[in-house]
Amino acid sequence: MKPAMTSTSIAPAKPAGDGLRFYGVWLIGIAALVVLPLVFSSGGSLTSFSLIGIAIVFALSYNILLGQTGLLSFGHAVHYGLGGFAACHMMNAVVSHGWPIPLPFIPLFGGLGGLVFAIIIGWVMTKRAGTVFAMISLGIGELVASSSLILRSVFGGEAGITTDRTALPKMLGWSFGPQLQVYYLIAFWLVLSAIAMYALTRTPLGRICNAVRDNPERVQFIGYDPHVVRYLAFCFAGFFAGVAGSLAAINFEIANSAYLGAIQSGLVLFATFIGGTAYFFGPILGAILVTYLQLGLTNVTSVWQLYFGIIFIGIVMFAPGGIAGLLMMHRPLVRAGTLWTVIPSYLVAIVPTVALACGVILTIETIARYSGGDPINLFGIAFNPTSPVTWIAAAVLLVGGFFVARLTWQRIADAWDRAATVARDRGYLA
Amino acid sequence: MTAAIEVRAVEKRFGNVSIIRDLNLSVAKGERHAIIGPNGAGKSTTFNLISGHIKPTSGEVKLNGDLISGLRPFEINRRGLSRSFQVTNVFARMTVWENVRCAVLWATGHRYAFWKNVDSLPEVRERTAQILDDIHLTHRRDVPAGLLTYAEQRELEIGITIASGATVVMLDEPTAGMSHAETERAVSLIRRLTDGKTLVIVEHDMSVVFGLADRISVLVYGHIIASGTPEEIRRDPKVKEAYLGEEAH
């Protein structure tokens, strides 16, 4: 049986409201970037916003590879780091030669740093996709990271290359000493890069990147060389990763080997995947969440990486589309007007699911802090990790939470099936 | 007049096994040519050899008089040869519209352009709309290709194949797995869309073959044992013995 056709899918032209909504989303995003530091003006939040901005550019650049072209890279931080080093060297050169280049132009040179390396190394790397590409990217990542400690003249060894962003020529009276000014510089490049990367997805190359992701074999039979497509995507990803790295270099006034390493490469993969690779805005959500968690969790617990791992495994297993995928799953339901039938089952599931999460946290923290004996502070309640009361509480929450939560999840699945079937019958597939 | 496709003494070996041996095939321009043969005869391999999917061990393939054996698939495609696949081979996560549009892009000269907005290329849009109309999938344009019904995916497969405007079109079992009504629909679609082009088709359904083809080649164990008009093939004793069996009576 063919699904019923809807008026929206018959109409060849998109309704005018779509364009308005499209630009509206971008304008709201830009307005939020402008207003945020005025609302949350503390030094801590300015630093957080700056780091989030950098992470977004980096994650979006990574998604040119992973989400758009289907290339899984384990060494994307190489371009980020080289962009950072290029920016530091450029800033120092500007200062020592007295060139009239103000700070806001520096990310362009950082981007070129990432791009040049991508141009050199990319042709060999992108010959094959899949496992071969992933393994080579891992190797190149390790190679460059270890070189950075050996080639001291370029990378400055352990100490890295330092720079002084305020020594560059002023622009519009801005010295870029205060964090607020650096934030706006990052926000400016974030907007510029995001628009450029979005526009890239709307070009012939961007569309063919998706085709290569879906079916590299068939692409060859519509006239395209998938190797060239992957190479070009790799170069663009390298450029924008370099921009992100140079923003980090400007923010911290240093570039060192940590920028290039496997941890940085892992974090960007993590952020992009958690956010969701199938939608352009996915990596933005992922970068915000991961940076925020990273900043927040490190203050609260010493085993924060464990929580990252659990979140990552959970997303991979239960929501491979990431946060964006989870959100967009609801679109056909919203359009068909059946979302309200699912909401009650969500509300019912909240309590046991939160209890289960508390049980997991309490268990992990009890094990982590058992020998040290530091108290666990969970929502204002203090637990002693050596006390059997804590163990019992953890076990009850964990086991009880799991069994009750599983029932409520089943209810969600049932309600979801009914709502989705209705939506499909009404012709809303996505 | 040079032939559209000229296959001369092509051999394909995988290790010691000869899949294709001394293959000779000539397809005239504008001809509808069917390749038939029992399962495992090497029909799909022949397609793969001509379209560059695999390289011949020896022998040569010419397209409109130019040597193409040894070229890569996209180079052969750019010279005006397009093929479909026996197993549906579309861009599953992209919409029907995007599938066809991707196939139109190279032929309209946009190549790897990253400075043009793909939505504001009028000739691409018109051609894509025309092809969607031709394959009767306009009403499904915004559906991801992976969610189409089987018959619709087969039609999309044909749409992608003809989208580049290639003059030589090769279809590998376009009606495989279709119902009788769907097959009739597909055949009239193929007839219409390949009008004025050279068509090479692999097909198991004999009513399709004898209704559509100007000439037929019979492939058995990697070797063409007969080539001729449908009438000649029907009468050929070698074909009767090797392939058609009681169907020929």
Write out pLDDT tens, residues B28-51. Answer: 999 999 999 988 889 999 999 999
Confidence (pLDDT) at A380? 77
| pLDDT value for B244 | 55
Q: Is residue A149 within 8 Å of residue A157, measured between CB atoms?
A: yes
A8 within a domain of the structure (yes/no): no
Q: To the nearest whole angstrom, how far is the Cα of B8 from the nearest Cα of chain A?
A: 23
What is the fold, at CATH topology level, of the domain defined by B5-248?
Answer: Rossmann fold (3.40.50)
- If you average pLDDT over residues A117-125, what whole number do you get? 96
* Angle (deg, nearest 10), helices A77-97 and A130-150: 40
Question: What's the first-to-final CA gap in chain B, in angstroms?
Answer: 36
The answer to whether A161 and A155 are in contact (CB under 8 A) is yes
Taking CB atoms and an 8 Å cutoff, what residues of chain B touch A220?
Answer: 52, 72-74, 77
SS3 A160: coil
Euclidean distance between CA atoms B71 and B49, whole angstroms: 10
| Domain shared by A305 and A340, yes or no | no
Does residue A236 have a pLDDT over 60?
Answer: yes
Considering only CB atoms, which chain A residues are within 8 Å of B89?
215, 217-218
A144 and A94 in a common domain: yes
Mean pLDDT across chain B, nearest whole number? 92
Co-location of A300 and A385 in the same domain? no
Same domain? For A270 and A408 the reply is no
* In a shared domain, residues A187 and A131: yes
ipTM of predicted assembly, 2 dp: 0.93
Domain co-membership, A273 together with A172: yes
- Domain that residue A357 falls in: 331-425
- Residue B243: per-residue pLDDT: 65
Residues A54 and A187 in one domain: yes
Q: What is the pLDDT of residue A268?
A: 96
pLDDT in tens, A306-358: 998 999 999 999 999 999 999 999 988 888 888 888 999 999 999 999 999 99
CB B230: neighbour CB atoms within 10 A? 17
Tokens 């559209």 correspond to what residue? B4
Residue A215: closest C-alpha in chain B: B91
Contacts of B114 in chain A (CB under 8 A): 200, 203-206, 232, 236
Asked, for residue A326, whether it belongs to a domain, the answer is: no
Mean residue pLDDT of chain A comes to: 91
Residues in B closer than 8 angstroms to A5, CB to CB, are 139
How much of chain A exceeds pLDDT 70, in percent?
Answer: 96
As a whole number, mean pLDDT of residues A169-193 equals: 93
- A299 falls in which pLDDT band (50, 70, 90)? confident
DSSP letter at B27 equals: E
CATH number for position A38: 1.10.3470
The CB density around residue B149, as the number of other CB atoms within 10 Å, is 13
Q: Do A198 and A280 meet the contact criterion of CB atoms below 8 Å apart? A: yes
Percent of chain A exceeding pLDDT 90 equals 72
A339/A366 same-domain check: yes
pLDDT, tens digit, 9 for 90 and up, residues B87-146: 889 999 999 999 999 999 999 999 999 999 999 999 999 999 999 999 999 999 999 999
- Read off the tokens for B10: 């092509």
Query: In b/e form, how buried is each residue of B174-200, taking b as 16+ CB within 10 angstroms?
Result: bbbebeeebbebbbebbeebbeebbbb
Residue A1 in any domain: the answer is no
Among candidate residues A312, A339, A360, the one where a domain is terminated: A312
B117 vs A374, more confident: B117
A:B CB pairs within 8 Å: 116
CB contact under 8 A, A9 and B118: no
Reply yes or no on whether the pLDDT at A12 is more than 60.
Answer: no
Number of domains in chain A: 2
Q: Would you state the structure tokens that stand for residue A180, as one six-digit string?
A: 């607020």
Does the distance separating the beta carbons of A5 and B77 come in below 8 Å?
A: no
CB A291 within 8 A of CB A243: no
pLDDT tens string B3-30: 999 999 999 999 888 899 999 999 999 9
Residue B245: predicted pLDDT: 56
pLDDT band per the 50, 70, 90 thresholds, residue A56: very high
Any alpha helices (H) in A276-342, and if so which ranges? Answer: 282-300, 304-318, 322-329, 331-336
Tokens of B116: 């043009």
Asked if B149 and A215 come within 8 Å (Cβ–Cβ), the reply is no
Picking from A7, A14, A221, A227 by the largest number of B CB atoms within 10 A of its own CB, the best residue to mutate is: A221
Residue ranges of chain A whose CB lies within 8 Å of a chain B CB: 2, 5, 8-10, 12, 199-200, 202-208, 210-211, 213-215, 217-225, 228-229, 232, 236, 278, 429-430
Is A350 among the domain residues? yes
Question: A48 pLDDT band (50/70/90 cuts)?
Answer: very high
Same domain flag for A414 and A278: no
B117 and A213 within 8 Å at the Cβ level: the answer is: no
Q: What is the pLDDT of residue A303?
A: 87
Domain's final residue, options A312, A343, A362: A312
Q: Name every chain A residue with its beta carbon within 8 A of the beta carbon of B51.
A: 221
Cβ of A139: how many Cβ atoms within 10 Å? 13
pLDDT at B150: 92
Distance CA A284, CA B83 (A): 40
Give the domain-ending residue among A312, A343, A368.
Answer: A312
**Option in A202, A210, A229 nearest B112 (CB):** A229
Q: How far apart are CA A398 and CA A165, in angstroms?
A: 50
pLDDT of residue A5: 38
| pLDDT attached to residue A16 | 55
Residues B237-243, mean pLDDT to the nearest whole number: 81
Residue A182, judged by CB atoms within 10 A of its CB (0-12, 13-18, 19+), counts as: buried
Residues of B in contact with A202 (CB under 8 A): 117-119
A229 with B106: CB under 8 angstroms? Answer: no
Q: Do A220 and B83 count as a contact with CB atoms less than 8 A apart?
A: no
A293 and A339, same structural domain?
Answer: no
Spatial distance between the Cα atoms of A47 and A43, rounded to a whole number of angstroms: 6
How near does any CA of chain A get to the CA of B116, in Å?
5
Secondary structure element (H or E) that encloses residue A249, with its range = helix A226-252
Q: Are residues A256 and A375 in the same domain?
A: no
Domain ranges of chain B: 5-248
**A139 vs A128: CA distance, rounded Å:** 15
Nearest chain B CA: its distance from A219 CA (Å): 8
| Least reliable range by pLDDT among A6-10, A356-360, B54-58 | A6-10
Mean pLDDT of B52-73: 95
pLDDT digits (tens, 9 = 90+) for B160-205: 999 989 999 999 999 988 899 999 999 999 999 999 999 999 998 8
- Looking at the fold, whether A352 and A233 belong to one and the same domain comes out as no
